Amino acid sequence: MATEYEKLSVDRATQKMLKRADEELIKTVFQRWQDQQPQCGFGLLGVCCRNCNMGPCIIDPFKAGPQKGACGADADTIVARNILRMIAGGTAAHSEHARHVAIVLHEAAQKKVPYNITDEKKLDAVAKTIGVATEGKSKEDIAKGVAEAALADFSNMSEEPMRFLMAYMPKKRIRTWEKLGILPRNPYKETVECMHRTTMGVDADPVNIMLHGLRTALSDGVSKLIATELQDILFGTPKPVKSTANLGVLRDDMVNIIVHGHVPLLSEKVVDAARSEEMQKLAREAGAQGINVAGICCTGNEVLMRKGVPLAGNLLQQELAVLTGAVEAMVVDVQCIMPGLTDVASCYHTQLITTMPEAKIPGATHIPFVESKADESARTIVEAGVKKFQARDKNRVYIPDDKVEMMGGFSVETIVGALGGTLNPLIDAVKSGAIRGVAGLVGCNNPKVKHDYGHVRLAENLIKNDILVVGTGCWAIAAAKAGLMMPDAAAKCGAGLGGVCKALGIPPCLHMGSCVDNSRIYIALAALANAIGVDIPDLPAAGAAMEWMSEKAVAIGTCVVGLGVLTVLGTVPQVLGGPKVTQILTEAAEDLVGGKFVVEPDPDRAADVILSHIDSKRKALGLKT
């Protein structure tokens, strides 16, 4: 029989740490979520409105009580407005991330900040794609031009669509969006418009609201794309890299510093500082064997992809990392950082270090990360960690011995490289049926569902049925921990996909990076569609976010649907109180943009949904099923 910990997570390290948390009487997200039960039914259905002070208003789903808010807004209006605000929240996160990177690239081009233009090949490719002149120009000039084009996409106040979107997306997609009037102009403009439309007494039409949701989500997609492309220019395009994953990557004999959050501007520098001889020496003087940096969440994915830094865990493991008693410092920037971390950290010697002006946490130590003095800032942060080593209570250290080998670094460039320079071998494999289709698995963890179970189980089901799986975010960390990111996972595949993986020496689940790197998947989809001469919705492809929780995931999912891809959600979105909105998301969207949402918490059934969708697309393309 499953123990109570096995019911909460399929991950062994997590089970052990949850037991440990109980023994130590320390609450984590798992317990705090339990304390929230039962969660408010109105909220779960999305029919609570607090957008003005005549409210809060609720709609009675059983029709015994009010069917309209005080202003007359009905269930669908309220649900649509709430979802639009979630999309705005997610888009704001990605666009702030991307704009931050663009500013640093702009300054790096002028040598105002200590960041390099590392990947000139990528710089050239991006410049050519968006039409920035390169002939006879220095790399600094080209980088400045690219950064200015990106910043223009974030400041455009005209009706012109975003330049990066027009340059990167297939013509057929652009025409579809143009016809619907949803070509995004600028994520800052679109998110402000979300707030305007949803404030009291503006947009009440759920269809009109959801169309703006698509437009905003497309601007989110372009923001992620800009973030990824510019990060590749600054830090290098990921190449195949070996590493390890799970809490067992922490070392009992070393200073452990965890980087957590999203923007690699900070984590790249922290890793560099920690690896410097100066800091390693400092650590040895403090009695440690050296400094071990490990990642949590997406910034972990970023430094894994480019530097091979091991992954300590995904969203629901952030507090568990601190619970090992072996973490000297957890350095965070923005997004997905639980305020509860300070409670756990206060039980140990761990210093939680916030670094960004927009993300401070009561109880944490704030050490500002200043880009113009990035190396110094990073050294100060690492030093703070090293200083904590002697305060570690060795008797309370408990590092689970779970640690799994993995391979990451699958940028589009790496994948094309592994295929011998073109997408043709992949297209041939899809045509022959050796690879039945491609699925993008992404997204968070959520205590509403068993940790990592949906992520891993769906991936295993798909590869068994010859679906090549690519993915990002906390899904990617789950898949790595489950051993699905090693070439020997080919043994878990159907004969077709297994054969392809063995021939190429690649895993059947490809780590494509952080959540902003979902844009790598969009670029791959666009390239595949262009190479075959079809539109993205015609491809035998699907997406899934089995354990999503973040507003960013709402923006990402809506963007993927806008790209024309069927997307399975494993946790139920807060929309079911609005029948029209639910119908738009799960049916009408397909007629408009080619993609739609399917809600299916069971990963076995989710696999069936994806397989039958992929087969129907194969059939329409005249491929054997």
Residues binding ligand SF4 (CB under 6 A):
49-52, 54-57, 69-71, 73, 78, 200
The partner in contact with residue 381, picked from ligand SF4, ligand BF8, none with C-beta cut-offs of 5 to 8 angstroms by kind, is none
94 lines the binding site for ligand BF8 (CB under 6 A): no
Q: How far is the CB of 267 from ligand BF8 (least distance, A)?
A: 13
Could you give the CA distance from residue 120 to residue 190 in angstroms, rounded to a whole number?
32
Q: Which is nearer to ligand BF8, 336 or 459 (CB)?
A: 336
Sign of CA dihedral 473, 474, 477, 479: negative
Helix 424-432 with 518-532: angle, nearest 10 deg: 70
298 lines the binding site for ligand BF8 (CB under 6 A): yes
Q: Which is nearer to ligand SF4, 57 or 526 (CB)?
A: 57
The partner in contact with residue 71, picked from ligand SF4, ligand BF8, none with C-beta cut-offs of 5 to 8 angstroms by kind, is ligand SF4
Q: How far is the CB of 60 from ligand SF4 (least distance, A)?
A: 13
Q: What are phi and psi of 232, to 5 degrees?
A: -60, -40
Give the tokens for residue 388. Answer: 């904590």
From the list 560, 617, 616, 621, the residue with the least C-alpha distance to 593 is 560
The partner in contact with residue 297, picked from ligand BF8, ligand SF4, none with C-beta cut-offs of 5 to 8 angstroms by kind, is ligand BF8
Q: Which is nearer to ligand SF4, 202 or 491 (CB)?
A: 202
The partner in contact with residue 69, picked from ligand SF4, ligand BF8, none with C-beta cut-offs of 5 to 8 angstroms by kind, is ligand SF4
Bridge partner list, 354:
332, 366
315 lines the binding site for ligand BF8 (CB under 6 A): yes
Q: How far is the CB of 66 from ligand SF4 (least distance, A)?
A: 10
Q: How far is the CB of 330 from ligand SF4 (least distance, A)?
A: 38
Q: How far is the CB of 76 from ligand BF8 (least distance, A)?
A: 27
Residue 320 contacts residue 254 (beta carbons within 8 Å)? no
User: Per-residue x/- mask for ligand BF8, residues 319 to 358, rule CB under 6 A?
Assistant: -----------------x----------------------
- Considering only the C-alpha atoms of the chain, give the largest distance between any 2 of them, rounded to a whole number of Å: 73
Residue 222 contacts residue 184 (beta carbons within 8 Å)? yes
Could you give the CA distance from residue 466 to residue 432 in angstroms, rounded to a whole number?
12
The partner in contact with residue 315, picked from ligand SF4, ligand BF8, none with C-beta cut-offs of 5 to 8 angstroms by kind, is ligand BF8
Q: DSSP for 409-445?
A: ---HHHHHHHTTSSSHHHHHHHHHTSS-EEEEE----
The partner in contact with residue 200, picked from ligand SF4, ligand BF8, none with C-beta cut-offs of 5 to 8 angstroms by kind, is ligand SF4
| HSE, side-chain direction, 13 A CA sphere, residue 564 | 23
Q: Which is nearer to ligand SF4, 88 or 316 (CB)?
A: 88
312 lines the binding site for ligand BF8 (CB under 6 A): no
Q: Which is nearer to ligand BF8, 243 or 445 (CB)?
A: 445
Could you give the CA distance from residue 625 to residue 618 in angstroms, rounded to a whole number?
7
- Gyration radius from the chain CA atoms: 24
Give the tokens for residue 338. Answer: 């639980």
Number of residues that bind ligand BF8 (CB under 6 A): 14
Which residues, at least 6 apart from 533, have a Cβ–Cβ distance to it below 8 Å? none
Q: How far is the CB of 361 from ligand BF8 (least distance, A)?
A: 16
Q: Which is nearer to ligand SF4, 578 or 595 (CB)?
A: 578
Q: In the window 432-491, what residues touch ligand BF8 (CB under 6 A)?
A: 443-444, 473-474
Q: Which is nearer to ligand BF8, 237 or 514 (CB)?
A: 514
Q: What DSSP designation does 490 have?
A: G
Of 58, 92, 515, 568, which lies in the binding site for ligand BF8, with binding defined by CB under 6 A?
A: 515
The partner in contact with residue 391, picked from ligand SF4, ligand BF8, none with C-beta cut-offs of 5 to 8 angstroms by kind, is none
Q: In the window 234-273, what residues touch ligand BF8 (CB under 6 A)?
A: 262
Sign of CA dihedral 320, 325, 327, 333: positive
Q: Which is nearer to ligand BF8, 165 or 545 (CB)?
A: 545
From the list 328, 325, 338, 308, the residue with the least C-alpha distance to 390 is 328
Q: Which is nearer to ligand BF8, 211 or 546 (CB)?
A: 546
User: Per-residue x/- mask for ligand BF8, residues 545 to 584, rule CB under 6 A?
Assistant: -----x-xx-------------------------------
Residue 190 one-letter amino acid: E
Bridge partner list, 243:
406
The partner in contact with residue 473, picked from ligand SF4, ligand BF8, none with C-beta cut-offs of 5 to 8 angstroms by kind, is ligand BF8
CA–CA distances in Å: residue 24 to residues 64, 323, 348, 451: 47, 9, 11, 21
Place of tokens 């800091």: 279
The partner in contact with residue 49, picked from ligand SF4, ligand BF8, none with C-beta cut-offs of 5 to 8 angstroms by kind, is ligand SF4
Q: What DSSP designation does 24 have?
A: T
Could you give the CA distance from residue 615 to residue 610 in angstroms, rounded to a whole number?
9
Could you give the CA distance from residue 151 to residue 88 in angstroms, rounded to a whole number?
19
Is residue 154 classed as helix, strand or coil in its secondary structure? coil
The partner in contact with residue 470, picked from ligand BF8, ligand SF4, none with C-beta cut-offs of 5 to 8 angstroms by kind, is none
Give the tokens for residue 103. Answer: 């500013």
Q: Which is nearer to ligand SF4, 54 or 391 (CB)?
A: 54
Q: How far is the CB of 63 from ligand SF4 (least distance, A)?
A: 17
The partner in contact with residue 73, picked from ligand BF8, ligand SF4, none with C-beta cut-offs of 5 to 8 angstroms by kind, is ligand SF4
From the list 514, 617, 603, the residue with the least C-alpha distance to 566 is 617
Q: How far is the CB of 514 from ligand BF8 (least distance, A)?
A: 6
Residues 555-574 as b or e (16 or more Cβ within 10 Å = b): bbbbbbbbbbbbbbbbbebb
Binding site for ligand BF8 (CB under 6 A): 262, 297-298, 315, 336, 443-444, 473-474, 514-515, 550, 552-553
